[in-house]
Structure 1
Amino acid sequence: MNITYDVRFWEVRRNTSSKTPSYEARWKVGHKPKSKTFRTKALAESFLSTLREAARKGEGFDIATGLPVSMLQAEPSGPSFFEFAQSYLLRRWRTSAARTRETDAYALLTLLPALVADVPARPDLEDLRVALRAHALLPEDRRAKLTGDQEAALRWLEKASLPLSALGEAATLRLALDAISVTLAGKAAGANTVRRKRAILHHLLEQAVEHKAFTSNPLDEIKWTPPKAVTVIDPRTVVNPSQARDLLDAVPKVGRKRGARLKALFACIYYAALRPEEAADLREKNCTLPESGWGLIILERARPQGTKRWTDSGETHESRRLKHRADKETREIPIPPVLVAILREYIEAYGVAKDGRLFRTETGGSYSSSAYSYVWQAARKLALTPAQFSSSLAARPYDLRHAAVSLWLNAGVPAPEVAKRAGHSVDVLLRVYAKCIDGQQDHINGKINDALE
């Protein structure tokens, strides 16, 4: 190692030869000019500040690399961020639902192309994202064959990815937070999306702490205010019982057969507050349907829709445990006579699938969310006024569930019982439906008056 103490520094400047914005940190070691390019000016200035501090301390600089001795000794030897992100996804694969796998991967699709050094021959961004989505972020036995351009993009990322240790620096973490604040199309991301991606980054760094890459989670040190997310239900989406009945009566009028087969599914969402994926896996054995009076549904499983590459079965729908519940844990929901009658009529007309499922297509498959959403929008057009149709009133089938829970709360059903039937915790229930609980103030005030007297 050839050492010198003759070091000079210049200001950071914009790199005009690069297609994408980048900045050069410039300095001179002995008679040799040195430079290093960064994606942001802040990163370049942070690097130059480190060099200046080393020079002030009297450190020698290596003429060949231009770096102070302390930085040569501290060159990162751990995994790159790309390598650790791959292992993070694969470690979580077995215990994660398909939607969770997809959500994790899409957060990394945002982060991985952003946390890179300015290595020449940067590939087309879409080629890089396809290579990640269809190959690198999947288990080996699920990886698709890549084109030559996509393989080159992946090789570039392997070379350019920042070391995991770089995420211990505030400037790098702020670069990551900037990246998750925009969509893949480059527009401002929604508040819930940003919060979800930030949570994934935080969890990934928690895993890095477990692997001794950091002593504590570096993201906790960053003063950053996430965008405020809407966490309560908008009362304008909630239908009243009369509107719900009109909508359900309109569903069978849509199409030749599909609407008639779907009325009972929508009725389960409204009268029993089932999630659509819970209704999709409802089986005859789960239902107690007496000839008169109240019945009972005992939910055992849900059937969420996912993308084939992320599911265990390779199919779009697969049966899983209930949301927020342990495997084999059930949920009991008493159902009113009107829903009992609708389900009895449905079973008499259409029977059940070989596996006992109630709701399926004519060929025995599961309805896609786009299929039942199409029917729902057509029913809204038939049942609602033009002004209501163009509003957010019952805009999605899921809004029937919100209407059910709001109805129960406003009918005076105790919150713990509503939470038990809907599959929520009490605190989440009251927070989410806070704006939908109304009409009880006079009744509650009267109770307080009686108690005071």
Structure 2
Amino acid sequence: MKLRRPKTSGEVDRRSVVNPAQARELLVALTYCGRTRGPMLAAMFACMYFSGLRPAEAAGLREKDCHLPSSGWGLLTLEKTRPQSGKRFTDSGEGFDERGLKHRAEGTTRIVPIPPELVTILRTHLETYGTAKDGRLFRTRTGGVISASAYAKIWKEARTYALTPEQVASPLAARPYDLRHAAVSLWLNAGVHAPEAAERAGHGIDVMLRVYAKCIDGQCEIANQRIEVALVS
């Protein structure tokens, strides 16, 4: 007897998507997690929310990738990621490999505009903690790459500080990756055109619209209004 596994749609569960106020509360809560680890990583989580970075992209972010003006919007020029694969599966024999961007040819870059709020956060982070020897912004106290299990543990603790017990038990921001989902959902809800949002997120347009289809709040009402106007004219 053969069992067929049900197909997954890949769509984001809208219950996991935080609003801007909740995201900021979580970022503040991170600064209370541990003596140094939480405060050192708060800006990394801010990159996932304010610029929609994948965790591996945030982990690989270097100072030279950041254009952080004293005022206004900045830019991140993404080129490298630091995914965690395990020593058996990396070319270097280390737990992390330095790789190019996901779904892109080696050597290509992705430019992501970042709002002034994130510019300020990153400038403060650099002034306070500096960088690793290779220029990475986010590191352990010894300069190593932060493991997924380490930042997941910190995130779990931060949720208990920032959310109500009911929210902690829910899917709301259950994983750090949900900050990226919240970012892209915010862009689409704000009316950013799909091609522009896809470029910033490093998605194909078709994949992005399929994955985030149920997180675009209020679109039904807007569509109804446009159809009604068209019918009258």
Within the candidate set 20, 23, 42, 1:244 is matched to: 23
| 1:266 alignment partner in structure 2 | 45
Shift of 1:447: 3.1
Q: How big is each residue's C-alpha offset from its partner over 1:199-219, in whole Å with a ceiling of 9 and x where there is no partner?
A: xxxxxxxxxxxxxxxxxxxxx
Query: SS at 1:296's partner residue?
Result: strand
Q: Unaligned regions of 5+ residues in structure 2, if any? A: none
| 1:390-429 correspondence to structure 2 within 5 Å | 390-429=169-208
| 1:329 alignment partner in structure 2 | 108
| 2:77 alignment partner in structure 1 | 298
Shift of 1:310: 1.2
1-side partners of 2:230 and 2:113: how far apart? Answer: 32
Q: Which amino acid aligns with 1:434?
A: A
| 1:379 alignment partner in structure 2 | 158
1-side partners of 2:172 and 2:213: how far apart? Answer: 18
Q: Which amino acid aligns with 1:349?
A: T
Shift of 1:235: 0.4
Q: How big is each residue's C-alpha offset from its partner over 1:283-335, in whole Å with a ceiling of 9 and x where there is no partner?
A: 11111101111101010011100110111101001110110000001111100
Query: SS at 1:334's partner residue?
Result: strand
2-side partners of 1:448 and 1:315: how far apart? Answer: 57
1-side partners of 2:76 and 2:203: how far apart? Answer: 17
2-side partners of 1:389 and 1:443: how far apart? Answer: 32
Shift of 1:451: 4.1
1:342 aligns with 2:92: no
1-side partners of 2:187 and 2:205: how far apart? Answer: 14
Count of aligned positions? 232
Shift of 1:442: 2.7
Query: SS at 2:152's partner residue?
Result: helix
| 1:3-82 correspondence to structure 2 within 5 Å | none
1:360 aligns with 2:139: yes
Shift of 1:448: 3.4
Shift of 1:445: 2.9
Query: SS at 1:253's partner residue?
Result: coil
More contact order relative to length (CA 8 Å, sep ≥ 6): 2
1-side partners of 2:205 and 2:55: how far apart? Answer: 21
Structure with higher Rg: it is 1
1:307 aligns with 2:86: yes
2-side partners of 1:321 and 1:417: how far apart? Answer: 21
1-side partners of 2:5 and 2:37: how far apart? Answer: 43
Q: How big is each residue's C-alpha offset from its partner over 1:62-104, in whole Å with a ceiling of 9 and x where there is no partner?
A: xxxxxxxxxxxxxxxxxxxxxxxxxxxxxxxxxxxxxxxxxxx
Q: Which amino acid aligns with 1:237?
A: S
CA RMSD for the aligned pairs?
1.3
Q: How big is each residue's C-alpha offset from its partner over 1:16-56, in whole Å with a ceiling of 9 and x where there is no partner?
A: xxxxxxxxxxxxxxxxxxxxxxxxxxxxxxxxxxxxxxxxx
| 1:276-291 correspondence to structure 2 within 5 Å | 276-291=55-70
1-side partners of 2:175 and 2:27: how far apart? Answer: 13
TM-score (normalizing by structure 1): 0.50
1-side partners of 2:186 and 2:113: how far apart? Answer: 15
1:234 aligns with 2:47: no
1-side partners of 2:227 and 2:51: how far apart? Answer: 32
Q: Which amino acid aligns with 1:337?
A: P
1-side partners of 2:221 and 2:89: how far apart? Answer: 51
| 1:206 alignment partner in structure 2 | none
In percent, how many aligned pairs have the same letter?
62
1-side partners of 2:230 and 2:126: how far apart? Answer: 50
Q: Which amino acid aligns with 2:194?
A: A
Query: SS at 1:317's partner residue?
Result: coil
Structure 1 runs (4+) deviating above 6 angstroms are none
Shift of 1:226: 4.4
| 1:44 alignment partner in structure 2 | none
2-side partners of 1:444 and 1:364: how far apart? Answer: 51
2-side partners of 1:398 and 1:226: how far apart? Answer: 25
Q: How big is each residue's C-alpha offset from its partner over 1:174-217, in whole Å with a ceiling of 9 and x where there is no partner?
A: 8xxx5xx7xxxxxxxxxxxxxxxxxxxxxxxxxxxxxxxxxxxx
TM-score (normalizing by structure 2): 0.96
2-side partners of 1:425 and 1:279: how far apart? Answer: 20
2-side partners of 1:281 and 1:290: how far apart? Answer: 21
